[in-house]
Structure 1
Amino acid sequence: MEKYPKIAMGSVNAQEVTEIAGMYSIFTAPVLLLFVDGKEFLREARIVHLDLLEEKIDKIHRHMAG
């Protein structure tokens, strides 16, 4: 995520913070959620294809920077 300075990153273990799973309807792990202006914009779960994820994040980052 160093490549995307305008995107803040955080990590939460849903087994340790169980209410987060219910709050975001998380039924499997891992799950990557990306929020834009406080709204869920992207959700990737279980098998995450990193090259496709990077393409999606690149597009979002370009839009945010533009």
Structure 2
Amino acid sequence: MLKEFPLIKLGIVNAGEVTEIAGYLMAFTAPVLVLFADGKEVLREARFVPIEKLRNQLHRIYEATYGD
């Protein structure tokens, strides 16, 4: 899906291997998707993420941030 949003960079962190990240992001379930724009959290989804809802949210945020 991120091919539709080429300016969004993906990072994957395994909280089991980097335990500090769970507390830092307050992510106490898995999976957790967190999107930052200009250093601020703009989207957070956890556990069950409806794909179309996520795509629509990413599109809205992408347009607002990058002026698609």
TM-score after normalising by structure 2: 0.91
Q: What's the C-alpha RMSD, in Å, of the aligned pairs?
A: 0.8
In 1, Cα distance between equivalents of 2:40 and 2:66: 18
More helix by share: 2
CA deviations over 1:40-64 (Å, ceiling 9, x no partner)? 1100000100110000000111112
Between Structure 1 and Structure 2, how many residues are aligned? 66
**What aligned pairs does 1:1-66 form with structure 2 within 5 A after superposition?**
1-66=2-67
SS at match of 1:33: strand
Structure 1 portions without partners, runs of 5+ = none
TM-score, reference length from structure 1: 0.94
Q: Give unmatched runs, 5+ long, in structure 2.
A: none
